[in-house]
Structure 1
Amino acid sequence: MKIESLLFGALFVFLVLANIVYGFMTNWSEFAGGIPLGLVAGMCIMIATYLWITGRRVGTRPEDREDAEIHEGAGEQGFFSPWSWWPIALGAGCAVSVLGLAIAYWLMPIGAGFAFIALIGWVFEYSRGSHSH
């Protein structure tokens, strides 16, 4: 995960520099561009840090080596729920919450409640019934 962490680290540096240039060009009076650039830079450094820590814990993967063969990366990559409807419900709940931010504040708690229920359903999807572990 070395290249991924370097990629997000470079993106962080670019966004910080772009934010500084944007601030000087607007005399630090325009916040509509500076704050989002700073927030995205913060998200990039969080992702870069996570990938760097995970890469140290996991070790070198076949994708990180130049002499790796294709068959070295074969095998199980993880468990992904193939028929889950919960991500769609979670996306709809988040969309209603953001719509509430833009249009009417009374929609926000409705969307947040729906998103919370969908998140709980998605997390505990395989914890009951015939699919429980």
Structure 2
Amino acid sequence: MNANVKLYWVLTVFFIILSGLYTGWSLLDQAHQRVEWAGTIALLLSGLLWALIAFYLSKVHSSQGAELAEDRADANIEDGDAEQGHFSPWSWWPIVLAAAASLVFLGVAIGAWIAFIGLGLLIVSLVGWTYEYYRGYFAH
């Protein structure tokens, strides 16, 4: 992960420098001599996006405490098989949530009445997925 963080910081610097160069180049254009804002803002926001990702990954890397197995040259494959999180293999709520989200996007494209149905299903599926461990057979 350390190599990824360094790569993303390099991309951040690259896109911010490229944004400045693009702005200067658009000002040197003899025909227009004004800033072309769409490209300048797009390149600047791309640099900020890479900065956000690099900052997040550096915070995650520092909160893990030790060096990860993929950062060591002498690590074996089995060194990196730690706990990856808690996932429910029996849960149907992610499928319902995906269907509800697709109905919302379909409603935006076709008709608002479909989006309202999808929004209701979206709220029900979010509540169901959040509270699935508080009821039933797998309650805590």
TM bin (shorter chain) = 0.5 to 0.7
Q: What is the TM-score when the length of structure 2 is the normalising length?
A: 0.65
- Structure 1: any 5+ residue segments left out of the alignment? none
Does residue 116 (structure 1) correspond to residue 87 (structure 2)? The answer is no
The one-letter code sitting in structure 1 at the alignment partner of 2:80 is G
Q: What is the TM-score when the length of structure 1 is the normalising length?
A: 0.67
Question: What is the CA deviation profile of residues 60-96 of structure 1, one whole-angstrom value per residue up to 9, with x for unaligned ones?
Answer: 2111211212232234332211121111111111111
- Structure 2: any 5+ residue segments left out of the alignment? 27-35
**Using a 3 Å threshold, how does the CA distance of structure 1 residues 57 and 128 change in structure 2: closer, same or farther?**
same
* SS of the residue 1:98 aligns to: helix
Cα separation, 2, equivalents of 1:67 and 1:42 = 34
**RMSD of equivalent CA atoms:** 3.4
The one-letter code sitting in structure 2 at the alignment partner of 1:57 is S
Cα separation, 1, equivalents of 2:38 and 2:68 = 46
Q: Which runs of 4+ in 1 moved over 6 A?
A: 13-16
The one-letter code sitting in structure 1 at the alignment partner of 2:3 is I
**Number of positions where the alignment pairs a residue of Structure 1 with one of Structure 2:** 126
**Residue in 1 that maps onto 2:102:** 95
Superposition deviation, residue 56 in structure 1 = 0.8
**Using a 3 Å threshold, how does the CA distance of structure 1 residues 48 and 125 change in structure 2: closer, same or farther?**
farther
* Counterpart selection for 1:76 from 73, 83, 86: 83
**Residue in 2 that maps onto 1:107:** 114
**Using a 3 Å threshold, how does the CA distance of structure 1 residues 42 and 92 change in structure 2: closer, same or farther?**
farther
* SS of the residue 1:106 aligns to: helix
* SS of the residue 2:112 aligns to: coil
